Chain A
Amino acid sequence: MPTPLLAAPSPEGPTPAPAAEPRREPQGLFLSGTSAGDAETLNWILAADSASFSYSGQTMDSLATYNTQWQVVLRHLAKPVEVSPDGLVYTITIRDDLQWTGGIKVTAEDYVYTLKNLMFSDWLSYTYKEDWEEMVNGEKVTVRPEVIDDTTFTITRQTVDPEFVDNAIYGLTPYPKHIALKYEGDIKAFTQAEEFNNLGYTGNMGPYIYQEWIRNDKFLVIRNPDFYMGQEDGSPHFEEYEIKIFGTTAARHAAMEAGDITYTGIDPPQVAKFAKMENINMYHNPTSGYTLITYNLRQNGWEGLKDKSVRQALSMSIDKKAVARSVFKGFADPAFSFIPGPSPWFTEEGVPKFGVGPLYDKQRARDMLREAGYGAREVDGRPVVLGPDGEPLKLVLATNSGNKQREDIAFLVRQELGDLGIEVEMKLVPWASLLRQYMNNRVPGSDQEPRFNNGPEAVSEKEWDIMVMGFSTHPIAPSGSSVFYKSDGGINYWGFSNPRVDELFERVKSREALDIEARKKMYAELSRLIAEDQSVDFLVYPQAHPGFQANVDGIEPGMNMGYSYHKWYFLQR
């Protein structure tokens, strides 16, 4: 199942198959609480939201996943993906014991069909098609899948991308060809197909089988006795697994405290309280996301922002530790790079640390602004930064409403810049409107369709200067971040451009990057350049805080702890 994460074979290489464990009797109902909103569809190939993938993922594994150490763990794969020496041909071998419902064998043909006839087709408009595309002579083309035999297929690329296997292949899950054929070409029939909306085809491919989905209430799956990985140890060890949807986070936390649900993610303000409870086990894990602010470098942003020293000055006046402390109650780490800490590519070497220590200094920031032509004046005992026309500066800060942490950060940034001497006007708008009015852009007067990056001349519908945002980076495959930081990156909505960064992002997707050490150097330089340019100010890496009732055992702590959730079990009382 493609997870909404961005992708190189793991430097450590795949782990060997785990040793056989004692067989356990399945029991009980595992109740997982969420308040993030319900899924849109179980027909996941049409979905855009992460809940849809997480629901259907209960019934279907993908080719491979990662363990808590970010090592590759094989799922539907029979052996690690083989890459040809020239890095262009990927040979994928699936297990030969996978079955669709009704005992029909899952073959390589199903995978190739899913790619060619569904994901790459025009009529279906698969959301994550871009994962399977490459630029050849300035044109976007899809990769070429081919069936070799019943359990083997190849994917051929024309350009080298060492991280293609992480960004795309491991997440691949097939649709049943024998069913999909009935609906092929008819999007309406495909959308409403009973088999797909009831996950009625998943056979032995996942730990659970679909049972019931009451919208805005719960998604219930029952143990799959045929689960391909469960034949020896009897996994999964829960009779039923339910995702319960809550209307408010307060209700979700209350349910956890009262013992009504088995597991939920605890929000930072509640972590300390739950950590003290004896009947609850808390974990503190890093995540692959980061919170940042982007500066608008396009024509409709404040022109001062085009000056690197001005951006650095602004970043220098925002206290990252205060953000971590005030918004996340300390459960977040100051961020300085687009590569998160747990990634093997992460390095702090040469990366400037704006917003902490000596580089958190408002006076120095004011001096830098003065040198750039924006002097400050005392008004009523408070500094006010002035523009070249002598008028006080006023910037527009935009972010999406409905996300408390982001709103809190926005207010904190406003306050920090206010203390620096720059008045900030807040625009808190719902996500869809933020995308449409502030992030999408087009060249004025042209007939372009709005996109996140319509070239250097394009501007957004509404003016803005600063935006609070959250991105995430695949820890194993950070090259996916080129969509953010390359001049022509598809999501580079703030207009960042640095030729050297562009070149490096090209090179991490080339033959020379097959050499791990060479790639490490490239990522180190990218981290440094992007941080020095400060077109974005990385604020913090938030943490995740999964909380479990104490009777759940078998959990392997760490990031990605859910990868082995089929091995969790209830302690006998």
Chain B
Amino acid sequence: MKDHIIRRLFYALIIAWGVTTITFMLLLASPNSPADKYLANLSTRIQDPAEMKAAIEARYGLDRPWYRQYGEYVANIARGDWGWSFSTSMPVMKLIGVHWKYSFQLIALSMIFSSVLGILIGIYSAVRQYTRTDYLATFLSFIGISIPNFWLGIMLILIFAVQLGWFKTFYDTSLAMFSLANLKALVLPVITLGTASMAGYTRYVRSATLDNLRKDFVRTARAKGLPERTVIGRHVFRNAMLPVITIIMWDLSGVVFGGAYLTEVVFGIPGLGRISLNAVLAEDYPVVMAITLIGSAIVLLTNLVTDIAYTYLDPRIKYD
């Protein structure tokens, strides 16, 4: 098991290297350099863009050959210096240090919201298969996965913040992180971000539960006269969790860098999503690289966690 983890970590390192390298290549391939993006701000004010462009490239260290930039970048990453973000004028580490928590609280709450509700509804729906509740849950879960989440967010703001006035129209960063007010401010964003995942989990849990309900050990347990609650809770639930955990972990990266991104834009949450969107548009190399690196690290880590969770939940699986 320990060997396995070490091997996986080593492997993760190689993948992370691959990811950053590809990102770097893409940035190099861009026809517009960051200096072009900087000059674009000047609009029609500056008369000699050629001279200015050279100066800006020198300022950002982009005038050196690409392999030196790349080499230095990799070396700096290894040393823990992630560079200076020129589109926001602060060290990348500090930038991420400030903004990760806004994304984290949103994603964490939304994962809790979607997995708890998804699992409960899914099991309930499976146990009551072919009842009206089941059909309703199935139908709603279809709607949940089909509704574009940025669209849902706008609608929620329009109804609950503008029309009914229950919530503020935007997220207020001056709220203390662990306060009721902050929790309230996150209600709409969490629903926006969590709905699709919740609907997805409902469907997976339902099907996994149904699969297990038909298994022999459930019949045996029932035949032994165990109460239905114990059968579902201990036998069915535990076994149904395996595929569900995979799905949740797999979904996480999509949530972090897909849904959260758009949710942050809609609700004005200054999380990593908005930071990275702006960095991408400004071609702020150091930030873009850092974000992809962190993104892939999250995926790799969740994969590892999934593996380990499997060994605990299913004793049949073993890694040597």
Contact = CB atoms under 8 A, between A and B. Distances in A.
Given A197-B89, A489-B47, 4 more contacts: A191-B89, A251-B169, A257-B162, A258-B162
Interface string B64-87: 000000000000000000001011
A310 to B, nearest CB: 25
- Report which residue of B42, B47, B88, B165 has the largest number of chain A beta carbons within 10 angstroms of its beta carbon: B47
Interface stretch (A110-118, A222-230, A428-436, A509-517): A428-436
A469 interface: yes
Contacts of B282: 40
A436 B36 contact: yes
Interface stretch (A210-218, A323-331, A354-362): A210-218
A471 B44 contact: yes
7 contacts: A40-B86, A48-B41, A48-B42, A188-B59, A246-B268, A491-B44, A491-B47
Contacts of B51: 449
B157 interface: yes
Given A251-B268, A440-B49, A48 B39 contact: yes
A48 B52 CA distance: 11
A46 B267 CA distance: 31
Given A40-B89, A192-B84, A247-B268, A125 B39 contact: no
A435 B40 contact: yes
B45 A4 contact: yes
Given A215-B98, A251-B169, A128 B40 contact: no
Nearest to A246: B268
Given A245-B268, A254-B169, A432-B32, A127 B40 contact: no
A451 interface: yes
B221 interface: no
- Report which residue of A192, A432, A440 has the largest number of chain B beta carbons within 10 angstroms of its beta carbon: A432
B59 A130 contact: no
Contacts of A197: 89-90
Q: Which 7 A-B pairs have the closest CB atoms?
A: A490-B47, A449-B50, A125-B55, A217-B270, A41-B89, A49-B41, A247-B265
Contact of B173 (A37, A214, A246, A250): A214
Contacts of A43: 89
A49 B86 CA distance: 13
Contact of A247 (B38, B88, B266): B266
Contacts of B99: 214-215
Contacts of A37: 278
A90 interface: no
A272 interface: no
B52 A251 contact: no
Given A215-B95, A469-B44, A187 B268 contact: no
A255 B98 contact: no
B305 interface: no
Contacts of A248: 265-266
Contact of A451 (B49, B98, B165): B49
A244 interface: yes
Nearest to A191: B59
Interface of A: 4, 6, 37-38, 40-43, 46, 48-50, 125, 127-128, 130, 187-188, 191-192, 197, 214-218, 244-248, 250-251, 254-255, 257-258, 260, 430-433, 435-436, 440, 449-452, 469, 471, 483-484, 489-491
Interface string B143-165: 00000000000100110011001
B58 interface: yes
A127 B52 contact: yes
A156 B299 CA distance: 63
Given A216-B274, A246-B268, A247-B266, A260 B169 contact: yes
A258 B161 contact: yes
A127 B36 contact: no
B37 A218 contact: no
Contacts of A449: 50-51, 53-54
B68 to A, nearest CB: 16
A250 B153 CA distance: 12
B275 interface: yes
Contacts of B270: 214-217
B140 to A, nearest CB: 27
Contacts of B52: 125, 127
A525 B247 CA distance: 73
A451 B48 contact: yes
Nearest to B50: A449
Contacts of A246: 170, 268
B37 to A, nearest CB: 5
Given A125-B55, A246-B268, A432 B278 contact: no
A263 to B, nearest CB: 15
A433 B45 contact: no
B88 A40 contact: yes
Nearest to B274: A216
Nearest to A215: B88
A47 to B, nearest CB: 8
Nearest to A4: B45
Nearest to B91: A192
Contacts of B269: 217
Contacts of B49: 435, 440, 450-452
Given A127-B46, A432-B32, A258 B165 contact: yes
Contact of A127 (B42, B58, B89, B165): B42
Interface in B235-269: 264-269
- Report which residue of A125, A245, A484 has the largest number of chain B beta carbons within 10 angstroms of its beta carbon: A125
Contacts of B40: 431-432, 435
B31 interface: yes
Interface in B13-67: 31-32, 36-56, 58-59, 61
